[in-house]
Amino acid sequence: MKALFGLEERILDTKRDMEAREALLASRNLAVPGGESLVLGFFRDDRLVATGALVGNILQGIAVAGEIEGEGAAAAVTSALLKKAVERGMRKVFLYSKPQEARIFRELGFSLLAEVVVERSGLGAALMEWGAEGIEDWKAGMAKFAEGKPRGAGAAVVNCNPFTLGHRKLLEHAAERSPWLYVLVVEEDRSLFPFDVRLRLVREGISDLENVTVLPGGPYVISSATFPSYFTRVPAGGDSRKITELYAALDLEMFRRHVAPALGVGIRFVGTEPYCPVTSVYNDLMKRILPAGGEGIPPVEVREIPRFERDGSPVSASRVRDLIREGRPGEAAALVPKTTAQWLESEEAAPVLERIRTSGSRH
Amino acid sequence: MKAVKDAAAGSLESSDVLVTVTPSEGEDNTLSVDSIVFRQFGGRIRSVAEEVIASSGLAGAAVKVQDRGALECTLRARLETAIERALGRA
């Protein structure tokens, strides 16, 4: 235990501590984030007066009691969390705050990545980052890939878990209608098929298309930072639709503000989403946010392409995983290109297939 | 001596400084300085940091100094502690 700013700092783990924390968060109109790997509390006279948590590499749930506001407690909480993050080997951390409080964190060395307020719900959030290899470095790296390529290019963001004929048709369609096409593969490794396999199968599956560059999505394209509810369940008590909308809007704001200008993208292609409610909210918002444009931000046209169907039902990666789970590999193979089918039969695939059959995970 | 682990010392509270030291490739050190009083004291902060780094024998590290108006003695103490930790000695 040590004193920070006259406050006693300790890790919260008892039920009593957690209840006090929940009450403090609620008093500041904040929900319990969920998925925390570390929760810190700051006490004065044995009363919890400030708290903050680490959720992966994201600082979340930072709250300071009204009675000590303005005494620099937010700086104490934030730097205590940053030190814990650094000790855990994180070079970079993200932080969510309310838009009106972003200034506090800017003064603490965070840079603003994107800020949104969703009109329908009134919910708003600012996404910020701190540490090495920030957004400007990433954009410079992306701009190198785009050097000498035509502007007004197309882009598609895909998870491809695994790469199916549906993905193939979408990318084929997009490549035909774009001067150049960038395919960004979601890098977050939370899917049943590991990232390096997903990336490789996309590359192999469209290697015949000449005007396409396949790139890892990196930390700024549908990552646990830009779109946490895509990867984790919305916390109990939260309004799932509103929260999904908020994060989806943030991810799209990141795309519009950073990704599209860095690559010179003018069109974003997306498949229609008949099943997944999260993706369908995302697609709806995309059509409102990307074409808007703004100061220094070129508008991005959105083209929604109907899902490729076979035998009357849409070909999707979740269908392929279901067929594998049900022990129908032949039917699964019929929905994917040869390159993916070959991989599914390889030795490397065995542990992945086993995990699909035994885990309850849908992703 | 090569830095062996990521380390931090100090804080972002007013009148303090947060120093982070992370191992990087090669033998060279890199130093980045950010301060709320950069215009007045940025040069001095940098030279103090370079001096402390040199006398510690640290190599192959990225040092980041994020100053919130710390006194020079505070800056030196934070630098020394973060470097010791990065070298695995504290």
Buried b (16+ CB within 10 A) or exposed e, B59-83: bbbbbbbbbbebeeebbbbbbbbbb
Name chain B contacts of A75, Cβ cutoff 8 Å.
11-14, 68
Residue-wise pLDDT tens digits, A165-222:
999 999 999 999 999 999 999 998 888 999 999 999 999 999 999 999 999 999 999 8
Question: Which residues face B62 on adjacent strands?
Answer: B22, B30
Compute the distance between CA of residue A357 and CA of residue A54 in angstroms, rounded to an integer: 32
- Return the axis-axis angle of helices A350-358 and A317-325, rounded to nearest 10°: 80
**Between A266 and A297, where is the model more confident?**
A266
**Percent of chain A residues past pLDDT 90, beyond the cut:** 63
Our CA-based measurement puts residue B7 at a distance from the nearest CA of chain A, in whole angstroms, of 6
Unique residue bearing structure tokens 């549908």? A222
Contact check, Cβ <8 Å, A79/B7: no
ipTM over 0.85: no
Instruction: Phi first, then psi: give them for residue A135, nearest 5 degrees.
Output: -60, -35
Contact check, Cβ <8 Å, B6/A76: no
Compute the distance between CA of residue A327 and CA of residue A342 in angstroms, rounded to an integer: 17
Name chain A contacts of B18, Cβ cutoff 8 Å.
79, 82-83, 109
Question: Which residues face B30 on adjacent strands?
Answer: B62
Average pLDDT over residues A220-229: 80
Q: Which two tokens stand for residue A5?
A: 């700013």
Domains of chain A: 2-132 (3.40.630.30), 136-358 (3.40.50.620)
Contact check, Cβ <8 Å, A83/B62: no
pLDDT of res. A125: 87
Sign of the alpha-carbon torsion through B57, A86, A133, B46: negative
Sign of the alpha-carbon torsion through A1, B6, B45, A102: negative
Compute the distance between CA of residue A101 and CA of residue A110 in angstroms, rounded to an integer: 12
Our CA-based measurement puts residue B29 at a distance from the nearest CA of chain A, in whole angstroms, of 14
Compute the distance between CA of residue A72 and CA of residue B45 in angstroms, rounded to an integer: 23
The model's confidence at residue A230, banded by pLDDT at 50, 70 and 90, is: low
3-state secondary structure of A135: helix
Average pLDDT over residues A21-29: 91
Picking from A296, A290, A298, A294, the residue whose alpha carbon sits closest to that of residue A264 is A298
Name chain B contacts of A80, Cβ cutoff 8 Å.
11
Does residue A243 contact residue A234 with C-beta atoms inside 8 Å?
Answer: yes
CA A19 to chain CA centroid, Å, is: 29
Average pLDDT over residues B33-43: 93
The closest CB to that of B8, out of A76, A86, A108, belongs to A86
A91 touches chain B (CB under 8 A): yes
Q: Give B 18-77 residues with CB within 8 A of chain A.
A: 18, 20, 22, 34, 36, 62, 64, 66, 68
Q: Which two tokens stand for residue B14?
A: 């007013």
Contact check, Cβ <8 Å, B6/A89: yes
Burial class from Cβ neighbours inside 10 Å (0-12, 13-18, 19+) for residue A164 reads buried
Residue-wise pLDDT tens digits, A107-155:
888 999 999 988 887 888 899 999 888 999 999 999 999 999 999 999 9
What global pTM score does this model have?
Answer: 0.84
Which CATH number applies to B7-86: 2.40.50.420, 3.40.50.720, 3.30.230.10, 3.40.640.10?
A: 3.30.230.10
Does residue B49 contact residue B63 with C-beta atoms inside 8 Å?
Answer: yes
pLDDT of res. B85: 94
A235 Cβ neighbours under 8 A, 6+ residues apart: A31, A32, A33, A34
Residue-wise pLDDT tens digits, A282-310:
899 999 999 998 888 889 999 999 989 98
